[in-house]
Structure 1
């Protein structure tokens, strides 16, 4: 299974964290379901053109967080996650992203009203795409 993960080489965010973030999003959004098999650490490293150590760290962190489970000799699988935790993770992820966006807008001296207008414009764009 090839995962739709995109690594940004020029990002300040470490690659292992980019992998974690994107896998978490795939899991909480339902694109990856409990019990789904994930690629081996080596396969994912090859697919993403990064080191095995990097993918191992991402998998270890995801396992510690309860998003995935590894079964010796069988592979790595998406774990069963409570609905409340999924909802909280989704909200936290969106809030962090909005926080960064607002911070950047304020650094560029946009007013609250201008930031709201930009957000509404983006929302309208996505609503139109859904139609």
Structure 2
């Protein structure tokens, strides 16, 4: 199954970095759990339409970061990523998304008090919907 990686050739971000960033997101978000077998650098290069050197660079960066490991003769796999690293990534992602929303709201002239009220309302709605579906929204 091909990895859900989408490259933007017109982006100023180098292709290897786009691959690295997207794989890191897939791993730290838990979409690719520990032990998941990754395609070889040649297969990934073919799937993405880029050079083997590019995919090799991305895999090397991920290996240095401790997110993947290559086992000679067996392939490349998602490494055991500690829970603290995953939690930190999750909170960082939420913070970035909240920041974008707040900045956009302020640019549109939404006041802090209105934004706070709206946030509280939406939070309560999501918690209610989540509890009806049997999900958990608290940690």
Q: TM-score, normalised by structure 2?
A: 0.70
Q: Give deviations 1:15-66, integer Å, cap 9, x for gaps.
A: 1111111111111222111111000001001100011111111100101111
CA distance in 2, matches of 1:95, 1:82: 20
**Structure 1 85/110 Cα, relative in aligned 2: closer, same or farther at 3 Å?**
same
The Cα shift of 1:94 comes to 4.4
CA distance in 1, matches of 2:65, 2:25: 13
Match in the other structure for 1:21: 21
What is the aligned length? 121
Match in the other structure for 1:81: 81
**Structure 1 96/58 Cα, relative in aligned 2: closer, same or farther at 3 Å?**
farther
**Structure 1 87/45 Cα, relative in aligned 2: closer, same or farther at 3 Å?**
same
User: Where in structure 1 do 4 or more consecutive aligned residues deviate above 6 Å?
Assistant: none
RMSD of the TM alignment (CA)? Answer: 3.0
Q: Which runs of 5+ in 2 are unaligned?
A: 134-139
Q: Give deviations 1:52-104, integer Å, cap 9, x for gaps.
A: 111111100101111100011110000001111111122334445666x47x8
CA distance in 1, matches of 2:98, 2:63: 27
SS in 2 for 1:43: helix
Match of 1:110 among 107, 113, 117: 107
Q: Which runs of 5+ in 1 are unaligned?
A: none
